[in-house]
Amino acid sequence: MRPPYAPGRRTLKSPAALPCGSPSASTLRLMVIEFLTFEVDPVERDEWLAEEERHWSRYLESRPGFAGKEIWVDDDDPGRVHAVIRWETQQAWDDVPGADVKAVDEAMGEWFREAAMRAFRVVRDC
């Protein structure tokens, strides 16, 4: 059983350049996105979201390098929920202790759901 917020699953390379000339371009070159997809019964979704917020959001907010999180619901598949988690650097994500991941997952109790995880790097923000 793989924890949904397991750090270090992917190593991402920074892009050579960001076209947009944004003042935050140098920061964005390092930013990575942890993209999680959960299967959640639509009938239980509001309760699951409340528990996820209470446990995972609060924990992530305490982590250095955590840059924010969005939760997306797929209108074409209401049983699918996506967590889009922004990290300032790959290192910040990798520094999340596995023991912490396990503890937060356990705190989710019956609301714990396995997640499919993908990682992305930000190359442009215009």
pLDDT of 15 > 70? The answer is no
The confidence score (pLDDT) of residue 22 equals: 54
Helices (H) and strands (E) in the chain, counts: 5, 4
Determine contact, residues 93/34, Cβ cutoff 8 Å: yes
The pLDDT score that the predictor gives to residue 124 is 81
Q: What does the pLDDT look like over 38-53, one tens digit per residue?
A: 999 999 999 999 999 9
According to the model, what pLDDT value does residue 123 have?
A: 86
Match 């990798």 to its residue by tokens.
94
What are the tens digits of pLDDT across the range 77-125? 999 999 999 999 999 999 999 999 999 999 999 999 999 999 999 888 7
Which token pair is 35? 């993209």
CB 27 within 8 A of CB 88: yes
pLDDT score of 76 more than 90? yes
Using alpha carbons, select from 61, 58, 83, 66 the residue that is nearest to residue 32.
66
Q: Which domains does the chain have, with CATH numbers?
A: 26-121 (3.30.70.100)
* For range 46-63, the mean pLDDT: 98
